[in-house]
Amino acid sequence: MNRALPGAARHVAAAYLPPALPGLDPAWSRLVEADDAAGVTRTWHVLDTGPALAAAGVAPRGTVVCVHGNPTWSYLWRRLLDAATDRALAGGPAWRVVAVDQLDMGFSDRTGAPRGLAERISDLDAVLGALALDGPAVTLGHDWGGVVSLGWAVEHADRLAAVATLNTAVHPGPSEGRDHVPAPLRLALAPGVLGAGTVTTGAFLETTLALAHPPLAPEVKDAFRAPYRTATERGGIGAFVADIPVPATHQSRDVLERVADGLRALEVPALALWGPRDPVFSDRYLDDLGERLPHLDVHRFEGAGHLVAEDVDYASAVLDWLEVVLEPAADAAPEAGDADAVQPLWHHLDARRDDADVALVEMAPPGGAGPRSVSWRLLTRRVDEIARGLVDLGVRPGDRVSLLVPPGADLTAVLYACLRVGAVVVVADAGLGLRGLTRAVRGARPAFVIGARPGLAAARALGWPGVRVSTTDLPGPLARTLGVRASLADLAERGALLADRADALAHVPAADDVAAVLFTSGSTGPAKGVVYTHRQIAAVRDALAAQYGVGPGASLVAGFAPFALLGPALGTRSVTPDMDVTAPRTLTARALAAAVGAADATVVFLSPAAIANVVATSDALDPADHRALAGVETFLSAGAPVSPALLARVESLMPGALAHTPYGMTESLLVTDVTGPEIRAAAADPARGPGVCVGRPVRSALVRISALDATGAAVGEPSDAPGTTGEVLVAAPHVKDHYDRLWLTEHASRRGRTPTSPRWHRTGDVGHLDAQGHLWIEGRLAHVVVTATGVVTPVGPEQALEASDAVARAAVVGVGPRGAQQLVAVLEPVDPPRRPALADDVLATDARSRTPVPLAAVLVVPDLPTDVRHNSKVDRARLATWADAVLAGGRMVAP
**Site residues (vs other proteins, CB under 8 A):** 788, 815-817, 819-822, 837-838, 841, 844, 854, 856-857, 859, 884, 886-889, 892
Instruction: Sort strands 514-519 and 424-427 into parallel, antiparallel or unpaired.
Output: parallel
Least distance (Å) between residue 219 CB and other proteins: 18
Least distance (Å) between residue 684 CB and other proteins: 33
Question: Exposed/middle/buried for 807, CB within 10 Å: 0-12, 13-18, 19+?
Answer: buried
Q: Which is nearer to other proteins, 701 or 859 (CB)?
A: 859
- How many angstroms from the chain centroid is the CA of residue 516? 14
Least distance (Å) between residue 866 CB and other proteins: 22
Q: Residue 694: enclosing H or E segment and its boundaries?
A: strand 692-697
Q: Give the separation between CA 492 and CA 381, rounded to whole angstroms.
A: 9
Q: Which is nearer to other proteins, 328 or 854 (CB)?
A: 854
Residues in the chain: 895
Least distance (Å) between residue 708 CB and other proteins: 18
Least distance (Å) between residue 23 CB and other proteins: 21
Q: Which is nearer to other proteins, 769 or 839 (CB)?
A: 839
Query: What is the DSSP secondary structure assignment for residue 219, as one 8-state letter?
Result: H
Least distance (Å) between residue 312 CB and other proteins: 24
Q: Give the separation between CA 785 and CA 880, rounded to whole angstroms.
A: 10
Least distance (Å) between residue 531 CB and other proteins: 40
The packing angle between helices 314-326 and 78-89, to 10°, is 50
CA dist list (Å): 655 to 645, 649, 658: 15, 10, 8
Nearest to 604 by CA among 649, 643, 638, 642: 638
Least distance (Å) between residue 852 CB and other proteins: 15
N-term to C-term CA, the chain: 58
The answer to whether 172 and 180 have CB atoms below 8 angstroms apart is yes
Three-state DSSP state, 104: coil
Least distance (Å) between residue 214 CB and other proteins: 19
Query: What is the DSSP secondary structure assignment for residue 691, as one 8-state letter?
Result: S
Q: Residue 34: enclosing H or E segment and its boundaries?
A: strand 29-35
Dihedral sign for Cα atoms in the order 755, 756, 761, 765: negative
Q: Which is nearer to other proteins, 326 or 844 (CB)?
A: 844
Q: Which is nearer to other proteins, 563 or 882 (CB)?
A: 882
Please give the sequence-ordered ranges of beta strands (E in DSSP) within 146-214, or none if there are none. Answer: 160-165
Q: Which is nearer to other proteins, 162 or 824 (CB)?
A: 824
Q: Which is nearer to other proteins, 98 or 844 (CB)?
A: 844
Q: Give the separation between CA 382 and CA 372, rounded to whole angstroms.
A: 15
Least distance (Å) between residue 521 CB and other proteins: 32
Q: Which is nearer to other proteins, 735 or 859 (CB)?
A: 859
Nearest to 675 by CA among 649, 644, 654, 653: 644
Least distance (Å) between residue 850 CB and other proteins: 15
Q: Which is nearer to other proteins, 389 or 816 (CB)?
A: 816
DSSP assignment of 362-426, as one string? ESS-TT-SS-EEEEHHHHHHHHHHHHHHHHHHT--TT-EEEEE--TTHHHHHHHHHHHHHTPEEE
Q: Which is nearer to other proteins, 111 or 787 (CB)?
A: 787
The answer to whether 759 and 334 have CB atoms below 8 angstroms apart is yes
Least distance (Å) between residue 424 CB and other proteins: 47
Q: Give the separation between CA 769 and CA 784, rounded to whole angstroms.
A: 18
The answer to whether 669 and 663 have CB atoms below 8 angstroms apart is no
- How many angstroms from the chain centroid is the CA of residue 556? 31
Output phi, psi for 788, to 5 deg: -65, -25
Nearest to 99 by CA among 136, 57, 69: 69
Q: Which is nearer to other proteins, 12 or 893 (CB)?
A: 893
Least distance (Å) between residue 862 CB and other proteins: 15
Q: Which is nearer to other proteins, 136 or 832 (CB)?
A: 832
Q: Give the separation between CA 537 and CA 477, rounded to whole angstroms.
A: 39
Q: Which is nearer to other proteins, 658 or 885 (CB)?
A: 885
